[in-house]
Structure 1
Amino acid sequence: MKLVELNESDTKGLVDLSASVGWDYDEAEVATLLSSSHKIFGHKNGDGQLVSSAAVIHYDHKLASIGMVIVHSNYRGHGLGKEVMQKCIEYACDRSIFLIATADGQPLYDKLGFTVVDSVHKYLCDKYAPPKLAKISEISIEAYKEKQLEDVIELDGVAFGEKRSIFLRNRIQQSHQCLVVKDENSKIIGFGLSILGTVNLTLGPVIAPDTRIAELIIDRLACDHKGKLRVDVPSGHENLMAFLEQSGFVKVNNPPVMAIHTSEMPPRNHTLFTIASQAYG
């Protein structure tokens, strides 16, 4: 098996590899992963078939995420997962690295030196049925405009614990819908994205000053969608999780957040109510 850095020509191979394990990465999602400051590594067999992958995403300063860690079922047990993960760690050696672990992947991450620092709550919904939400007269929720990018990046930076300029620019371009929340002085105090995949409309990131506003953003992103929905909620947002469960969402998993080169989560201000995805955190 040859370990290589992947590029746009490998998009179909990455989509096929994702589908082989039941994940729903599509071409748009792969394009965001392949954008600047992100690298994807993987193994190819003698026929050129892609049989493993792992993406490492550099953010603006000292954080990185690892996602899309896949080994084709026919090629497991040969150390490919370990080798591709080591390549990602080597690429991000000067950064604190975070990932959200699957049950299958966690033993490998333990061996590589990752430790559990937090968890997220994965929710799925077949039919959205929200409770009646009271309006908040002091705010407005509007469609995002390109001139608001820097404000969104600043809000996301303090919520996530690191600026993610390139990622957010590309993610907004990929989004199905992007909303901003303004206060009575027209200052942007929150935002939310939805990403339409092959299976789910994923709602995130959602950043808001409080749970009530987060609920209103989620409702606006979800209300006109007729298909399946997904949200991934960081720990510490029990009130939002109660709202989701009242609205037709079911918690299906509670995977750990793991880290290397650090023993704790980055400093956050508790305004990150849903994450972008398990690949990005």
Structure 2
Amino acid sequence: MTQTMTFRPFGAEHLDAALRLSRAAGWPHRREDWALIAGLSKGVVALDGDSVVATALTTAFGDAAMANMIIVDEAMRGRGLGREIMQRALALAEPLEWRLVATASGLPLYQKLGFVECGRVHQHQAALPALTAPRGVRAATAADLPTLIAMDRAATGADRAALLAQLAGSGQIALAEGKGFAMLRDFGRGQLAGPVVARDEGVARDLLSHLLAGKAGQFMRVDTVQDSGSAPGLSQWLVDIGLPQVDTGIAMRRGSLPPQAGGFHRFALAAQALG
């Protein structure tokens, strides 16, 4: 690191520079996507002089927290900056369990910081084929939000009420009474379907089919969750309906929460940054 390197709290004034970093890294995030995550998070930027050369955010969800939006300018890599900014970001929260989604290149650093692999995140995206809406699923309303929050917490162990409230105000929600929900919103190159929380894979498929019906030709992304040792499940179904898998991330955690009861499971992420 250079002698001019300084660290500052991530603020709204850093959004444009952060967007430039993520675009240079090939990420699809829009400024609005950065603003959503940053508004729910605390974070750190590294400055080389006046230039933002690295970012790292932490998003606390009660007993769980996500480490996310970890980017180091390509010209600044290999100097220990990634480790330094990660340690500073992790110091901003004290959850029982840290979570993140890693790339293969970031894996060694996160392992050194105490994270262990716990599964895979399969990124599916393409222009949508034609799908038929199933029965037994309806559009959720504001009155359903407490029910969605309870189902999400039963599936994730996290308190994501603020996240779900924000997503509910900017997208669509599908609800299968007592069985699960799914959300859809603008993201990146098109739209993203997630989170998807359901009692079983069949319900998850119905929820997604409800949201995606009538959107043939539109660009869609779904990030599915596969725990270590489990079957491909929803990921294979997405391939079968015409949404190919284009990338795979490594789900990691540090620390642990007690096992969740209630019979709900998370089948797709709100975003790789948000779990």
TM-score, normalising length: structure 2: 0.88
Q: Distance in 2 between matches of 1:249 and 1:265?
A: 34
Secondary structure of 2:71's partner? strand
What is the aligned-residue identity percentage? 26
User: What residue in structure 1 maps to residue 225 of structure 2?
Assistant: 234
User: What residue in structure 2 maps to residue 45 of structure 1?
Assistant: 48
| Pair 1:157 & 2:153 matched | yes
Q: How does 1:113-124 map to 2 (within 5 A)?
A: 113-124=114-125
User: What residue in structure 2 maps to residue 214 of structure 1?
Assistant: 204
User: In 2, are the aligned partners of 1:24 and 1:198 still within 8 Å (CA)?
Assistant: yes
| Pair 1:12 & 2:16 matched | yes
2:182 to 181, 186, 192: 192
Letter of the 2:19 partner, please give it: V
Q: How does 1:67-146 map to 2 (within 5 A)?
A: 67-130=68-131, 135-136=134-135, 139-142=136-139, 144-146=140-142
Distance 1:86 1:224, change over 3 A: same
Q: Which range is displaced more, 234-243 or 264-273?
A: 264-273
User: In 2, are the aligned partners of 1:65 and 1:98 still within 8 Å (CA)?
Assistant: yes
Query: Deviation of residue 179 (structure 1)?
Result: 2.2
Distance 1:147 1:56, change over 3 A: same
Unaligned runs of at least 5 residues, structure 2: none
Q: Deviations over 1:120-177 (max 9, x none)?
A: 22222234244x67x44xx2312x32222111110110011222111211222343x2
Q: Distance in 2 between matches of 1:210 and 1:259?
A: 24
Query: Deviation of residue 66 (structure 1)?
Result: 0.8
1:250 to 239, 244, 249: 244
Query: Deviation of residue 265 (structure 1)?
Result: 8.5
Distance 1:199 1:110, change over 3 A: same
Query: Deviation of residue 19 (structure 1)?
Result: 0.6
Distance 1:140 1:253, change over 3 A: closer
Secondary structure of 1:104's partner? coil
Letter of the 2:10 partner, please give it: L
Q: Deviations over 1:7-41 (max 9, x none)?
A: 112221121111110112222222222224x1121
TM-score, normalising length: structure 1: 0.86
Distance 1:266 1:124, change over 3 A: farther
Q: Distance in 2 between matches of 1:160 and 1:43?
A: 31
User: In 2, are the aligned partners of 1:24 and 1:199 still within 8 Å (CA)?
Assistant: yes
Q: Distance in 1 between matches of 2:169 and 2:213?
A: 21
Q: Deviations over 1:206-235 (max 9, x none)?
A: 122232222122122223333322111111
Aligned CA-pair RMSD: 2.1
Instruction: Say how many residue pairs are matched.
Output: 266
User: In 2, are the aligned partners of 1:237 and 1:273 still within 8 Å (CA)?
Assistant: no
Q: Distance in 2 between matches of 1:197 and 1:240?
A: 21
Query: Deviation of residue 253 (structure 1)?
Result: 2.8
| Pair 1:274 & 2:271 matched | no
Letter of the 1:171 partner, please give it: L
Secondary structure of 2:244's partner? strand
Query: Deviation of residue 255 (structure 1)?
Result: 2.1
User: In 1, are the aligned partners of 2:173 and 2:181 still within 8 Å (CA)?
Assistant: yes
Secondary structure of 1:234's partner? strand
User: What residue in structure 1 maps to residue 254 of structure 2?
Assistant: 260
| Pair 1:201 & 2:194 matched | no
2:29 to 25, 29, 47: 25
User: In 1, are the aligned partners of 2:137 and 2:207 still within 8 Å (CA)?
Assistant: no
